Amino acid sequence: MKTEEIKIANLKCGGCATTIKKELLELIGVDEVKVDKDNDSVSVTYSEEIRETILHRLHQLGYPEATEKNGLLLQLKSYSSCMIGKINNL
């Protein structure tokens, strides 16, 4: 099992964190997800070599790895994911 901290862009609030955690935990092989809003990072524990799958899912949600170009489209995706997370927290 491997635990890795991934720095991401567009992390704004608890709604973002809820969406990220829910979506990553649905991936086969992901055992634990912790979101640190203060450090703009996600700590993921996984049992297989699925790092690229994790990064791809984060990108789809609008939270790309901080090394990626963060364009307007990704920022808009992150706002959508944030709102979904806030609704799921109700």
Measuring CA to CA, which residue among 82, 43, 46, 59 is closest to residue 9? 59
Predicted pLDDT of residue 75 = 73
7 or 70, which is more confident?
A: 7
- Using the structure block, give the residue that is written with the tokens 């790092």: 51
Is the Cβ–Cβ distance between 37 and 17 less than 8 Å?
A: yes
Measuring CA to CA, which residue among 21, 27, 73, 82 is closest to residue 50? 27
pLDDT per position as a tens digit, 30-84: 999 999 999 989 999 998 889 999 999 999 998 988 875 666 567 777 778 888 8
Residue 22 CA, distance from chain mean position: 9
- Residue 2 binned pLDDT confidence (cut-offs 50, 70, 90): very high
Domain ranges of the chain: 2-89
Q: Which one-letter amino acid corresponds to residue 64?
A: P
- Domain 2-89 in CATH 3.30.230.70? The answer is no
Q: What is the pTM of this model?
A: 0.78
